[in-house]
Structure 1
Amino acid sequence: MVKGQRRMPRVYLIRHGETEWSLNGRHTGVSDIPLTENGEKIVEEMGPRVIGHGKLINPEHLRHILISPRQRAQRTAELLFGDNKPTNCKFQTEPDVGEWDYGAYEGMLSKDIKKEKPDWSIWDDGCPPGETPGETPQQMSDRVDRVIAKVRAIHEEAEKTAATPEEIDYSDVIIFSHGHFSRCFIARWCDLPLKTGYHIAADPGGLAVLGYQHMSLQEPSLLGLNWYTEDALQRR
């Protein structure tokens, strides 16, 4: 990054670590499944590599941290920061960053759902209505858009109040969430249809970096997926 050049704010989107259900592919929405021992270890080891001065996530740049209510996301946030929890930002449990509500499909495998509905796709069909209704693609898109609007409002406010590049409130945001939510968020952040999320990977414990190109809040972009280096980000 050129000295004196304004640094654009970022969103760090982190999927929770490994669970038993993520290992076997079960749809895990509202079920409160804990991390596996291996999942906890991976997140713990990741923290020191990505958080700190000169690393991918600089704590001084963070202003807001949004966390899904589910324990697998809460625990991931706790383990990632360890004893280095930043003091200059707000930690907020945010229901809107929770996973897609699968309704009657909760805990099921896609192959089992397709035994009854061979052409079923969550991206087209969502989850079934009935006694245990899940979310439709439109409901999911609307919810993700609410989160994006909240994040962009944070970034816009920082842009308005920064008198110089040196005084800018970096206003970085971290979201601790889930697989389908992350894929939907990335698609909608880039102004793409929700269904585009089908082509995006969000690994357990994976970290995506979103932000803007050409120093403009009007050009939201995906900067990195499931890992990225600070040097590459600075070239954006």
Structure 2
Amino acid sequence: MSMMKRLADSASKESSWQSSLRKNEPCSCLSLCLRVIFLDHTYLHIFIALQDLWETEWSKSGRSTSFTEVDLTAAGAAQVSSAAAVLVGSGKFIDPCHVAHVFVSPRKRAQATMDLLLPSSSDISKEKITFTEVITEWNYGDYEGKTNEEIRRLRKDKGWDKEQEWTVWSDGLEEVTNRLDKLIVHIKTIQKPLMDGKEPADIVLVAHGLILRCFAKRWLGYRLSDGIPMMLEPGAVGILSYRDNNINKPAIHIGTQIRMT
């Protein structure tokens, strides 16, 4: 099964909290989980924030979006603001006073997400924000603008379901690997002198679903072609870190010390 077919199949299955956010309704499961979590900032974190939940005209009709510039709808902007109230702030999942730098995809929808998620009134100055093509979405090539059904029909017509999984992409494994590896080196350069936790050291990435999954693979040293089961739901925030606070031991932070309020 192709990567895009797997993504298309999973995209059609929407969880209850995702449905609530799409309708701009309160989401009890998300708020209950995150409002009682306070991250242990003894460790450095790399937060990966997924833009692809927030509504655009294309997402409303189920069209795949990578390089095309599509604005958030008014409903999409309201969704981001609602999520930011839960996710971002003093003592919350992303605490601006602990952030050293933010890297944002230059796509308009990602920039709009960042502006609403981390408003200018927060403790994150403009000097700490970089817009970079390094984390722009993997170019969907022939899949751009197509619905899941159109993608399945295209693959069947061209006989791609049996082989040639990557041939539709206009940028390949090597190109994406190289650009992500350069970003990882840059992030480690920022965080290495901050490992003692005395100054803000967290990194935030605001980007898109496929490229962030690829980033997580490269963070752990896996090839993009390696079949590693992982889930990053639209609108989610994941955490990467370092084992033993050692810059040479990148890890996925699957659990963190919490205290209840």
Same topology, TM > 0.5? yes
Q: 2:134 touches 2:179 (CA, 8 Å); kept in 1?
A: yes
- Write the letter of the residue equivalent to 2:175: Q
Partner of 2:143: 105
Partner of 2:256: 233
Q: 1:6 touches 1:215 (CA, 8 Å); kept in 2?
A: no
**1:195-236: CA deviation from partner (whole Å, max 9, x where unpaired):** 347733333322111112222222212225xxxxxxx5237x
Pair 1:153-2:189 in alignment: yes
> Closer, same or farther in 2 for the Cα pair 1:18/1:144, shift >3 Å?
farther
Structure 1 runs of 4+ with >6 Å offset: none
Q: 2:99 touches 2:124 (CA, 8 Å); kept in 1?
A: no
Partner of 2:32: none
Pair 1:190-2:220 in alignment: yes
Normalization by structure 1: what TM-score? Answer: 0.78
| Counterpart among 156, 161, 177 of residue 141 in structure 1 | 177
Q: 1:127 touches 1:136 (CA, 8 Å); kept in 2?
A: no
Runs of at least 5 residues in structure 1 that lack an aligned partner in the other structure: 129-133, 225-231
How many pairs does the alignment contain? 212
Q: 1:18 touches 1:205 (CA, 8 Å); kept in 2?
A: no
Q: 2:44 touches 2:245 (CA, 8 Å); kept in 1?
A: no
CA distance in 2, matches of 1:121, 1:204: 28
| Counterpart among 66, 69, 73 of residue 110 in structure 2 | 73
Q: Secondary structure at the match of 2:129?
A: strand
Of stretches 193-202 and 35-44 in structure 1, the one that deviates more from structure 2 is 193-202
Q: Percent identity?
A: 27
Displacement of 1:190 in angstroms is 1.6
**1:102-153: CA deviation from partner (whole Å, max 9, x where unpaired):** 234322343133121332789x51535xxxxx11122112221121111111
Displacement of 1:40 in angstroms is 2.1
Displacement of 1:48 in angstroms is 1.8
Runs of at least 5 residues in structure 2 that lack an aligned partner in the other structure: 1-39
